[in-house]
């Protein structure tokens, strides 16, 4: 049995994931400040982050999360209540689950997953409004590595920021939660230094808990008059299970391929993703593996068997579908689908 036929058979027998709606969790609440507050660590008046690198962590405890009753799911983005804009020499976000109830001096004890989730260093980071008329708004940052959450976990957000305050109000402002958020920080952070200050206040943040199914990102592209291919998945990405990549809106005949990788942030050689290919087409996934498909009029499918190996927990499988099309508007004769992320848990 060839790989397409076996994949189609698996599609027929795969059990769909139970219906579950995405949940946005606000910690500690959804109220934005008006007018905006000046908030640590994006900018602190006085001796705070002016010209210094600041590292900061805040924990959303499992006990508080239990009151929100979220189901197990994938956290796909972290949001902050922000106003104004600023050019940041460093703006690095880490985030993940934790079994801690109180923050300790060691960053990696508080947050074992130290992968960089967002890196906007050297760019203008924007909140609501403008520098001259800032207005607090929720700004969400998609994560490089969506992670698995289950009830009983705490969620920790970790930021490293640095801004050279120019004296003209060009910095981000944040809504502050007073006396409810456990945070730790280091005002003059150097690599390897531990947290040295602890308080009970902190910036407000939120995170999006998606169902236990493929997280779609980016957009596909097509030749003129056609519909872009669409990528989704059936099954689950749990250890020992099978996830089935499924491409629809494909050509009846021809050649396609699944692009599979372990990053959506960097391609080979360190080039940043997405990689623009022209005509609205983008490579969204690092091409660690290419799986050819011979199209036979019923879409394309590929079964990914996930080994029951605990060392794989936390990895993220990224994928995209590409199809040969001589009329593609891209610089290569392929049209592409959206991207998809499957965290392994």
pLDDT digits (tens, 9 = 90+) for 144-181: 999 999 999 999 999 999 887 666 667 888 898 888 88
CA distance 334 to 223: 9
Eight-class DSSP state of 266: B
The tokens for 190 are 């150097």
Eight-class DSSP state of 74: E
Residue 336's closest CA among 219, 208, 191, 253?
219
CB atoms within 10 A of CB 47: 10
CA distance 286 to 222: 20
Span 120-140, average pLDDT = 92
What is residue 1's predicted lDDT score, i.e. its pLDDT? Answer: 29
Better pLDDT: 269 or 121: 121
Which residues face 147 on adjacent strands? 75
Q: Is the pLDDT of residue 45 over 70?
A: no
Give buried/exposed letters for 233-250 (b at 16+ CB in 10 A, else e). Answer: bbbbbbeeebbbbbbebb
Torsion, CA 178, CA 184, CA 188, CA 192, rounded to 10: -160
Comparing 16-20, 90-94, 131-135, 336-340, the range with the smallest average pLDDT is 16-20
Q: Give me the residue spans of the domains in the chain.
A: 3-17+213-343, 23-210
What does the mean pLDDT of the chain come to?
89
65-109: pLDDT as tens digits: 999 878 999 999 999 999 988 888 899 999 999 999 999 999 999
Instruction: State how far the alpha carbon of 247 is from the alpha carbons of 11, 14, 258, 335, 337, in Å.
Output: 11, 15, 9, 12, 8
With contact defined as beta carbons under 8 Å apart, do 215 and 233 qualify?
no
Which residues face 258 on adjacent strands? 291, 321
Q: Is the pLDDT of residue 49 over 70?
A: no
Q: E strands, 41-72, where?
A: 53-60
Q: Is the pLDDT of residue 2 over 60?
A: no
Eight-class DSSP state of 221: B
What is residue 178's predicted lDDT score, i.e. its pLDDT? Answer: 86
CA distance 97 to 111: 7
What is residue 44's predicted lDDT score, i.e. its pLDDT? Answer: 61
Residue 114's closest CA among 66, 55, 162, 68?
55
Comparing 163-167, 232-236, 300-304, 330-334, the range with the smallest average pLDDT is 163-167
What is residue 252's predicted lDDT score, i.e. its pLDDT? Answer: 92
Residue 205's closest CA among 172, 170, 181?
181
CA distance 33 to 21: 28
What is residue 259's predicted lDDT score, i.e. its pLDDT? Answer: 98
Span 43-47, average pLDDT = 56
Span 288-302, average pLDDT = 93
Question: pLDDT confidence of 5, banded at 50, 70, 90?
Answer: very low
Question: pLDDT confidence of 15, banded at 50, 70, 90?
Answer: very low
What is residue 316's predicted lDDT score, i.e. its pLDDT? Answer: 98
């Amino acid at each position: 049995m060839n790989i397409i036929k076996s994949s189609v058979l698996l599609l027929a027998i795969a059990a769909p994931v139970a219906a579950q709606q995405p949940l946005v969790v606000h910690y500690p609440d959804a109220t934005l400040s008006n007018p905006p507050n000046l908030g640590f660590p994006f900018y602190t008046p006085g001796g705070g982050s002016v010209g210094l690198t600041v590292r900061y962590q805040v924990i959303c405890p499992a006990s508080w999360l239990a009151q929100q009753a979220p189901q197990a799911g994938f956290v796909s983005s972290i949001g902050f209540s922000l106003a104004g804009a600023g050019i940041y020499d460093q703006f690095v976000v880490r985030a993940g689950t934790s079994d801690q109830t109180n923050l300790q001096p060691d960053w990696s004890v508080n947050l074992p997953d130290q992968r960089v989730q967002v890196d906007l260093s050297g760019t203008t980071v924007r909140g609501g409004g403008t520098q001259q008329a800032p207005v607090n708004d929720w700004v969400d940052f998609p994560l490089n590595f969506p992670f698995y959450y289950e009830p009983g976990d705490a969620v920790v957000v970790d930021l490293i920021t640095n801004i050279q305050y120019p004296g003209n109000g060009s910095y981000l402002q944040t809504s502050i939660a007073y006396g409810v958020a456990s945070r730790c920080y280091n005002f003059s952070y150097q690599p390897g230094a531990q947290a040295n200050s602890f308080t009970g206040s902190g910036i407000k943040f939120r995170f999006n808990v998606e169902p236990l199914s493929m997280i779609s990102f980016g957009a596909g592209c097509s030749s003129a008059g056609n519909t872009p291919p669409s990528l989704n998945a059936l099954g689950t990405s749990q250890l020992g299970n099978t996830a089935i990549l499924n491409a629809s809106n494909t050509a009846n005949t021809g050649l396609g391929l699944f692009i599979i990788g372990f990053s959506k942030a960097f391609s080979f050689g360190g080039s940043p993703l997405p990689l623009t290919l022209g005509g609205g087409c983008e490579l969204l996934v690092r091409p660690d593996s290419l799986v050819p498909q011979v199209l036979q009029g019923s879409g394309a499918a590929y079964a990914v068997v996930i080994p029951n190996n605990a060392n794989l927990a936390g990895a993220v499988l990224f994928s995209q579908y590409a199809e040969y099309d001589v009329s593609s508007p891209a610089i290569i004769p392929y049209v592409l689908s959206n991207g998809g992320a499957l965290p392994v848990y």
